Chain A
Amino acid sequence: MSDFNNRRKILKSSAGAAAAASLGVGGMLFSPFAQAQNMTFKPEKGAKLRVLRWSRFVQGDIDAYMANVKKFTELTGVEVRVDNEGWEDVRPKAAVAANTGAGPDIILSTNDDANLYPDKLLDVTDLAEYLGKKYGGWYPAVEAYLRPDGKKWLGLGLGASGSYIVYRQSQVKAAGFDTFPKDTAGFLKLCQALKEKGTPPGMALGNATGDGLWCNWLIWAFGGQLVDKNNKVVIDSPETQKALEYGKELYATFIPGTLSWLDPNNNKAFLDGQISVTNNGISVYYAAKNATDPKVKELAADIQHASFPVGPIGTPTESHLFFNQMIFKYTKYPQAAKEFLRFMMEKEQFEGWLGGAGGYIAQPLRAYESAPVWTADPKNTVYRDGVKNMRPAGYAGKLGYASAGAGADFIVVNMVAEAVSGSKTPKEAMERAQKRAERYYKV
């Protein structure tokens, strides 16, 4: 059970007073930290925790994470073992753990995993509400993933690895654009101009789990969607057709070979100077900035980031890889597990971890928009709003086996690839996607 510490209420008022003194009254009213109530969970005697998480994308992430883990152990005496797996391997392992009732106490997984076995997960509503209240609230996408019924929290959000536009400033300028276009029409014009200049863009159209997410953006930007709110498959629509026709024009500007691209291909091509624009996490910039090869390091100065252009529907339609944190009901140490997650999500630890990840992970809680990492390097700022602007993977339907299956089967990516490459007409590609998706959503 949660243990609200009344003593902290007094501290809260003094913290409020201190905040008021330093920020002024307005600062106190709007600073989420100032309204916080602290919560602690008392770890069980002799508690030990096993955490399974996805392997780091950038070294700073795991270094900062492990430093926080060490701090937690020092403070509580709870030993924590952290295992790492490739992020795509965490999903089956988590599912097996849920099914067999044995395995890590805490699993950091991706997208809609918590919706696959909600009854196997420890209710963390008290903790989620506490963190939400203290840190300015969870973004809507986090609630869609982890509070599907609007009441019970299945887990905590950890953040998202933003997939944003990564481009070469000098080449975009040479193509006649001083700033990166903010709408799809402008984006197409830019890509056409870049191709003419011999510096084409390129985005993955192979079965790329992470970098293929731009296909969701494409469909959503024009009002298309795989399913509606009632999980009815509606991908075969005039909106999707428009998106595919636009995609066809966009694909014509791409460097040859993108149909085969998996997740690492665009990084390699970009760092080699073969493409001017792609979509990626901040890792391309991170790699260039920390490169030992002076030629690659030089590239870092020319790299810029931008949000995905907004389509005719007029609102951002971003798609990113979401990370969650789940505690399994079978854990012998639920209090220790909750305390661990609470500790890791508190400002003192979480901001350090965000900084270590170098902008690779965007926060799930609004208060962390002011984390130093987003301003330490202006090129990081775009990645700040990953969770804020994202739509869940199974938009606009409910999340669960159907959304997970349809995503893993690359239905949208394949549809886009078929249509834009001309191997099928947009209509044929949509019909095929409709049929494939209906299988998952059981029509």
Chain B
Amino acid sequence: MAAVLGTHVERKRSWVERFQNSPNALGWAFMLPATVLLVLFLTYPLGLGTWLGFTDAKIGRGGEWIGFENFGFLIGDDVTRLALFNTLFYTTVASIVKFVLGLWLAILLNKKLPFQSFFRAVVLLPWIVPTALSAIAFWWIFDSQFSIISWVLMKMGLINSYIDFLGNPWNARISTIIANVWRGIPFVAISLLAGLQTISPSYYEASAIDGATPWQQFRHITLPLLTPIIAVVMTFSVLFTFTDFQLIYVLTRGGPLNSTHLMATLAFQRAISGGALGEGAAIATLMVPFLLAAIMFSYFGLQRRAWQQGGDK
């Protein structure tokens, strides 16, 4: 009996020991919690969302598989096409402006300024304020009757009537982009600032001795060394902008005349308010190829090049 027990304990010990000494098994074990979380909260909802896009599910009622019918309709639906245009326009313009202004701000903040830490903290404020709150502030700023901008311009005698910021389709598009840029700049600026601080000052000193102008330093030192950070930051920035919801929902709800509807707001309107869960999911699924394209672009176009990793090309 004791011998049998001893063998059993030995067998058990050897199994535990083998597990502890196996990098493969341990690796899988450590990955398991993260995998479960990812599958449960990311893969499953994404898969379910995609599947719903191929059904006629309504809120409160399961759907049946209808193939590409939702997508077929959405391609022919001019509101969806307008929302796609709005989303691409919004993302492109806002991302470019955020990048240019963010980089400029990062370079400024990287210089030795009085109250440097204070300014760096202040820059982060728009990012810290909850989006819904800043959206309400912009709602007042762009109000057709109470806009502070219109009021100031009127007082200065520059305009005769209040500007219809959110009532005219193009004004509304530009106004929402401005609000998005205001909110998004800190993320770009602070991330790029972190990147700038990793560049060794010796490069700048050496180039200065060689007689490089500030523009040449920026073009041939700052920009190439910052490219990997730019790739990451802009990928995230594009993703955040493309999937923006709160700003539009508070400011315009997609109006006027659907001119500020983004794919995300339209998906919500159709799926949740309208109850057409399948159609809303299809709109959300339609966003995926564009998001993938944005990621691919930054991955292949902006990622760290071989020479930056010490290669010779």
Binding site for B on A (CB under 8 A): 88, 91-92, 94-96, 98-99, 116-117, 120, 205-208, 255-262, 265, 268-269, 272, 274, 401, 404-410, 414, 417-418, 421, 423, 432, 436, 439-440
Interface residues on B, range: 35 or more
User: Can you list 19 residue pairs at the A/B interface with Cβ under 8 Å?
Assistant: A91-B59, A91-B272, A95-B60, A98-B60, A99-B61, A206-B253, A257-B164, A259-B168, A260-B167, A261-B167, A262-B253, A265-B144, A272-B146, A401-B58, A401-B61, A407-B274, A408-B269, A409-B270, A409-B273
In terms of DSSP, what is the predominant structure of the interface of chain A?
helix
Q: What chain B residues lie within 8 Å of A92 (beta carbons)?
A: 59, 272-273
B188 CB-CB contact with A under 8 Å? no
B162 CB-CB contact with A under 8 Å? yes
Known: A116-B59, A405-B274, A409-B274. A268 touches B256 (CB 8 A): no
Q: What chain B residues lie within 8 Å of A99 (beta carbons)?
A: 59-62
C-alpha gap A406/B275 in the complex (Å): 10
C-alpha gap A193/B272 in the complex (Å): 42
Binding site for A on B (CB under 8 A): 58-62, 73, 77-79, 143-146, 161-162, 164-169, 172, 252-258, 269-270, 272-276
In the complex the two chains form, is B172's CB within 8 Å of A409's CB? Answer: no
Chain B residue, CB-CB nearest to A89: B272
Of the residues B146, B167, B273, contact of A259 by C-beta under 8 Å: B167
Q: What chain A residues lie within 8 Å of B58 (beta carbons)?
A: 116, 401
Closest chain A CB from B171 CB (angstroms):
9
In the complex the two chains form, is A421's CB within 8 Å of B257's CB? Answer: yes
Closest chain A CB from B23 CB (angstroms):
44
Q: By CB atoms of chain A within 10 A, which of B77, B165, B253, B275 has the most?
A: B275
Q: What chain B residues lie within 8 Å of A408 (beta carbons)?
A: 269-270, 273-275
Chain A residue, CB-CB nearest to B78: A432
C-alpha gap A439/B252 in the complex (Å): 24
In the complex the two chains form, is A259's CB within 8 Å of B272's CB? Answer: no
C-alpha gap A117/B169 in the complex (Å): 37
C-alpha gap A436/B73 in the complex (Å): 10
Given A95-B59, A262-B252, A401-B58, 12 additional A-B pairs, CB 8 A: A92-B273, A99-B60, A116-B60, A117-B61, A256-B164, A257-B144, A258-B167, A260-B164, A260-B165, A261-B144, A268-B143, A414-B257
Chain B residue, CB-CB nearest to A208: B253
C-alpha gap A91/B73 in the complex (Å): 25
Q: By CB atoms of chain B within 10 A, which of A259, A272, A401 has the most?
A: A259
Of the residues A88, A98, A207, A405, contact of B276 by C-beta under 8 Å: A405
In the complex the two chains form, is B144's CB within 8 Å of A256's CB? Answer: yes
Of the residues A88, A206, A269, A418, contact of B252 by C-beta under 8 Å: A206
Closest chain A CB from B76 CB (angstroms):
9
Q: What chain A residues lie within 8 Å of B172 (beta carbons)?
A: 260
Q: What chain B residues lie within 8 Å of A406 (beta carbons)?
A: 274
Of the residues A205, A401, A409, A439, contact of B269 by C-beta under 8 Å: A409
Closest chain B CB from A216 CB (angstroms):
17
Q: What chain B residues lie within 8 Å of A405 (beta carbons)?
A: 270, 274-276
Closest chain A CB from B249 CB (angstroms):
10
Chain B residue, CB-CB nearest to A439: B73
Closest chain B CB from A338 CB (angstroms):
22
Q: What chain B residues lie within 8 Å of A417 (beta carbons)?
A: 255-257
In the complex the two chains form, is A207's CB within 8 Å of B145's CB? Answer: no
C-alpha gap A289/B175 in the complex (Å): 35
Closest chain A CB from B273 CB (angstroms):
4
C-alpha gap A208/B255 in the complex (Å): 9
Q: What chain B residues lie within 8 Å of A91 (beta carbons)?
A: 59, 272-273, 275
In the complex the two chains form, is A255's CB within 8 Å of B78's CB? Answer: no
Closest chain A CB from B101 CB (angstroms):
26
Q: What chain B residues lie within 8 Å of A259 (beta carbons)?
A: 164, 167-168, 255-257
C-alpha gap A272/B146 in the complex (Å): 10
In the complex the two chains form, is A207's CB within 8 Å of B254's CB? Answer: yes
Going nearest first, the 4 A-B pairs with the smallest beta carbon separation are: A257-B144, A260-B166, A95-B60, A95-B59
C-alpha gap A259/B61 in the complex (Å): 35
C-alpha gap A436/B286 in the complex (Å): 19
Q: What chain A residues lie within 8 Å of B161 (beta carbons)?
A: 256
In the complex the two chains form, is B275's CB within 8 Å of A404's CB? Answer: yes
C-alpha gap A125/B60 in the complex (Å): 23
In the complex the two chains form, is A207's CB within 8 Å of B275's CB? Answer: no
C-alpha gap A183/B60 in the complex (Å): 42
C-alpha gap A268/B147 in the complex (Å): 12
Q: What chain A residues lie within 8 Å of B79 (beta carbons)?
A: 409, 436
Q: What chain A residues lie within 8 Å of B254 (beta carbons)?
A: 207
Q: What chain B residues lie within 8 Å of A88 (beta carbons)?
A: 273
C-alpha gap A274/B78 in the complex (Å): 36
In the complex the two chains form, is B275's CB within 8 Å of A401's CB? Answer: yes
Closest chain B CB from A312 CB (angstroms):
27
In the complex the two chains form, is A265's CB within 8 Å of B257's CB? Answer: no
Known: A96-B60, A260-B144, A268-B146. A207 touches B272 (CB 8 A): no
Closest chain A CB from B147 CB (angstroms):
9
Closest chain B CB from A270 CB (angstroms):
10
In the complex the two chains form, is B60's CB within 8 Å of A120's CB? Answer: yes
Of the residues A95, A207, A418, contact of B253 by C-beta under 8 Å: A207
Closest chain A CB from B145 CB (angstroms):
5
In the complex the two chains form, is B273's CB within 8 Å of A257's CB? Answer: no
Q: What chain B residues lie within 8 Å of A418 (beta carbons)?
A: 257
Q: What chain B residues lie within 8 Å of A440 (beta carbons)?
A: 274, 276
Q: What chain B residues lie within 8 Å of A439 (beta carbons)?
A: 73, 77
C-alpha gap A11/B135 in the complex (Å): 60
C-alpha gap A423/B256 in the complex (Å): 11
